[in-house]
């Protein structure tokens, strides 16, 4: 199964980046990594006067082609302020647009990416109790954001959301064990 990984890992010595490298080692012949911070793929903010006439850059077209060629889409990023980094949100706004990911019909929509699967792996330095003190809002928020707000709309099949809490407190051995399970 061909996989494409979109990562928002600005620090190449971070555990988030280690997860990405681990997937390359595991699926080296069947995976492509796109770091949203790399100059080749870094996108400007979405701008338009008329949403029916959005100008699509060559970078976006290239990324969309790669998505169409893959079967599984994996997002890897650190949790910042209870959500995805801004660069990831901007990426989604630019790439998963009408006519590529879905089309509107009279009373409904047509999903255009129904042969795809997705996964989300998020790292978090903070302990889970900070996020879970009042509820499991972060997990629910991320799951809802990807599963219901984006991929349901395109009919991409869900796989799972994995949040790795307390990363700043993990030993090197614990991090290695996590990598073996991903």
Q: Which residues of 162-172 are buried (b: 16+ CB within 10 A; e: fewer)?
A: bbbbebeebee
Domain count along the chain: 1
> Who contacts 19 (Cβ-Cβ below 8 Å, separation ≥6)?
76, 121, 123, 179, 182
- Domain membership of residue 43 as a residue range: 3-181
> Given CA atoms 75, 77, 81, 86 in this order, what sign does their dihedral have?
negative
Q: How do residues 72-106 score in pLDDT, each as one tens digit?
A: 999 999 998 878 999 999 999 999 988 888 888 77
pLDDT of residue 16: 94
CA–CA gap between residue 181 and residue 177 (Å, rounded): 7
**CA separation, residue 163 to residues 119, 147, 160 (Å):** 11, 15, 10
- Other C-beta atoms lying within 10 Å of the C-beta of residue 175: 14
Task: Flag the least confident range among 66-75, 82-91, 139-148.
Answer: 139-148
110-128 pLDDT tens trace: 788 889 999 999 998 887 7
Name 161's bridge partners.
Answer: 120
* CATH code, domain carrying 82: 3.40.50.360
pTM of the model as a whole: 0.89
Q: With CA atoms as reference, report the closest residue to 4 among 83, 80, 62.
A: 62
Residue range 2-45, pLDDT digits in tens: 999 999 988 889 999 999 999 988 888 899 999 999 999 999 98
The DSSP bridge partners found for residue 59 are none
The confidence score (pLDDT) of residue 121 equals: 94
Q: Which two tokens stand for residue 38?
A: 């790399």
């Amino acid at each position: 199964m061909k996989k494409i990984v979109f990562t928002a890992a600005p620090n190449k010595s971070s555990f988030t980046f280690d997860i990405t490298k681990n997937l390359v080692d595991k699926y080296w012949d069947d995976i492509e990594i796109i770091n949203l911070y790399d100059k080749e793929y870094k996108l400007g903010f979405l701008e338009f006067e008329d949403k029916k006439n959005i100008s699509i850059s060559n970078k976006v077209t290239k990324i969309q082609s790669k998505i169409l060629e893959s079967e599984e889409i994996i997002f890897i990023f650190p949790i910042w302020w209870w959500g995805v980094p801004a660069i990831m949100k901007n990426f989604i706004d630019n790439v998963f647009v009408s006519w590529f990911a879905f089309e509107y019909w009279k009373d409904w929509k047509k999903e255009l990416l129904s042969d795809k699967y997705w996964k989300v792996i998020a790292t978090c330095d903070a302990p889970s109790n900070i996020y879970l003190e009042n509820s499991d809002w972060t997990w629910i928020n991320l799951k809802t954001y990807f599963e219901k707000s984006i991929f349901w709309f395109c009919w991409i099949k869900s796989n799972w959301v994995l949040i790795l809490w307390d990363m700043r407190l993990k030993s090197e051995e614990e991090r290695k064990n996590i990598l073996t399970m991903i």
